[in-house]
Structure 1
Amino acid sequence: MQTYIALLYSIILGEGRRVVMADLKAMVEELGLKNPRTLVATGNLVFESEKTSIATLEKRLEAAFEKAFGKHVEIIVRTANDWLKVAAGNPFPDESNATADQVAVRVMRQPVPDEAIAALKSYVGKDEKMQAVGGDIWIVFSRASSRLLTATSHKRLGIGTSRNWNTVRKLAEMVDNRQ
């Protein structure tokens, strides 16, 4: 069995409606995936499955989500080993220790193209940082309205979803002992 992490782009189904994590876990079990666990109520899911391609898992989860909840949501899947590499690749350890909620990674379905990374540089504010690592984008953003955070959208970068350092670290802890 292989451990996977699935990150939902959005769990908001419409005005005032959010996905309940127990319902998400039930959906995963109906797919035959094993031992589903969630981290906070923001669409972070850990589960086990026979070794399967990432693209296949993403398609299966997205189709099941749309059927169960009536809305298409992009879902990014990584193996546990790949997630541990994401966490270990954090280029901003000092900032992560000081303000973990202001350090985030935009986890991408496909690696961010170099031209998109170059274009993002013009959005980096005075107290902000950005670095591409392994096709994902790490940022340290300002609590004031961050142009950089806003610029890391689907339209500019492609399909992806952001998680702050607290979430990245906690997901890594969830899968680290299941290797």
Structure 2
Amino acid sequence: MKAYVALLHSIVLGDGRRVVMADLKAMAEALGCRAPRTLVATGNLLFEAPEKPLAELEAELEKAFEKTFGRHVDIIVRSAEDWSRLAAGNPFLAESERDPASVHVRVMRLPLEVDMREKLLGYCSRGERVAIVDGDLWVDFAGKASESKLLGALTTKRLGIGTVRNWNTVKGLRGMVAG
């Protein structure tokens, strides 16, 4: 068995409905995942399963999610080891510790090209900084992400399938995979 982290792009089902984490865990158990657990109501699922390609796990989870909740949601899966490596690669660690809500990572299904950093710099007007580490996009929003033009540029259409997590969530998941 291998430990994995699954990140849902959205837990909003429409009409004010959200995915209940107990239902998400039950869905994972029905797929044969062991020890499913979540990090509060953030759309993050940790579980154990036989080792297989990440793309296969993503497809299985997405299909089960659509069947269970009636809506397609992109799901990104990383092994526990890869998640620990992602957290250790935070290029804005000092800023993250000072203001965890200002640093985010967009975890990508397919790695971003290095030149994407240059394309995003045009959206940085308030001191934001961006870095691509192992294909994932790290952003120091230098304050509230919601006040940045850059946040609106981090779309699936522009960057491909991925999902954003703040440093508090990254650290919380790192602690769960380590423990």
TM-score interval (norm. to shorter): over 0.9
Which residue of the partner structure matches residue 48 of structure 1? Answer: 48
Is contact 1:106-1:160 (8 Å) kept? Answer: yes
RMSD, aligned α-carbons: 1.0
Which residue of the partner structure matches residue 165 of structure 1? Answer: 167
CA–CA distance in structure 2, aligned partners of residues 107 and 168 of structure 1: 10
Matched to 1:82, the amino acid is D
CA–CA distance in structure 1, aligned partners of residues 89 and 114 of structure 2: 18
TM-superposed deviation, 1:149: 1.4
CA–CA distance in structure 2, aligned partners of residues 75 and 22 of structure 1: 17
- Unaligned segments of structure 1, at least 5 residues: none
Q: Say if 2:9 is the partner of 1:6.
A: no
Which residue of the partner structure matches residue 151 of structure 1? Answer: 153
TM-superposed deviation, 1:40: 1.5
TM-score norm. by structure 2 comes to 0.96
TM-superposed deviation, 1:113: 2.0
CA–CA distance in structure 1, aligned partners of residues 148 and 79 of structure 2: 31
Q: Percent identity?
A: 56
What SS does structure 1 have at the residue aligned with 2:13?
Answer: strand
What SS does structure 1 have at the residue aligned with 2:91?
Answer: coil
Matched to 2:75, the amino acid is I
1:87-109 CA-to-partner distances (Å, cap 9, x unmatched) read: 00000011101100110000000
Deviating beyond 3 angstroms after TM superposition, the runs of 4 or more aligned structure 1 residues are: none
Which residue of the partner structure matches residue 175 of structure 1? Answer: 177
Q: Say if 2:26 is the partner of 1:26.
A: yes
Is contact 1:106-1:136 (8 Å) kept? Answer: yes
Matched to 1:127, the amino acid is G
CA–CA distance in structure 2, aligned partners of residues 129 and 119 of structure 1: 12
